Amino acid sequence: MPDAATHDQATPEVVARIRESFGRQGLMRLLGAELVQVAAGRVGISLARRPEVSQQHGYVHAGATSAIADSAGGYAALTMLPDTAEVLTVEYKLNLLAPAAGDRLEATGVVVRSGRTLSVCQLEVHAVTAAARKLVAVGQQTVIGVPRES
């Protein structure tokens, strides 16, 4: 995935719009996910590992992993669209590479191509501990820009 340094800083207005929209996401609030990075074409979301988001072996559940990856990509795409737009996921595929066993997960969405209607994003999720950062999931997503509702 491209380095964070290759992405321009998002304007304060874009950052505020993404933060406000993220705050309205009930699932992200339920999971305890946090928005940790907003740049032009790149968004990061963090999720602490805790029993409420685990599966039976104690790893972060694939559903929670997928949810933060999907939201990271969607918001990355939204940073590239006008303030009159919102996005909806059309499709995404996520390959789970290893158990999500870190202290927290960090999902990153990066825009590969921003189009007038459809945008494509790369998704990565890392499991993070104090000593290591391990790639646990990769994917690709397509989102569609739709008019913002009042």
- Predicted local confidence at residue 60, as pLDDT: 96
pTM value? Answer: 0.93
Where exactly are the structural domains of the chain? 4-147
- Predicted local confidence at residue 110, as pLDDT: 98
Which contacts of 1-6 are long-range, i.e. CB under 8 A and separated by 24 or more positions? 1/108, 1/110, 1/122, 1/124, 2/42, 2/110, 4/37, 4/39, 4/42
- Predicted local confidence at residue 8, as pLDDT: 87
- Predicted local confidence at residue 75, as pLDDT: 98
How does pLDDT run along the chain (150 residues), one tens digit per residue?
Answer: 544 445 789 999 999 999 999 999 999 999 999 999 999 999 999 999 999 999 999 999 999 999 999 999 999 999 999 999 999 999 999 999 999 999 999 999 999 999 989 999 999 999 999 999 999 999 999 999 999 986
CATH 3.10.129.10, domain 4-147, yes or no: yes
- Predicted local confidence at residue 149, as pLDDT: 84
* Residue entry with tokens 């969607």: 74
- Predicted local confidence at residue 6, as pLDDT: 57
Q: Cα(37)–Cα(44) distance, rounded to whole angstroms?
A: 5
* DSSP SS3 for 77: helix
- Predicted local confidence at residue 1, as pLDDT: 53
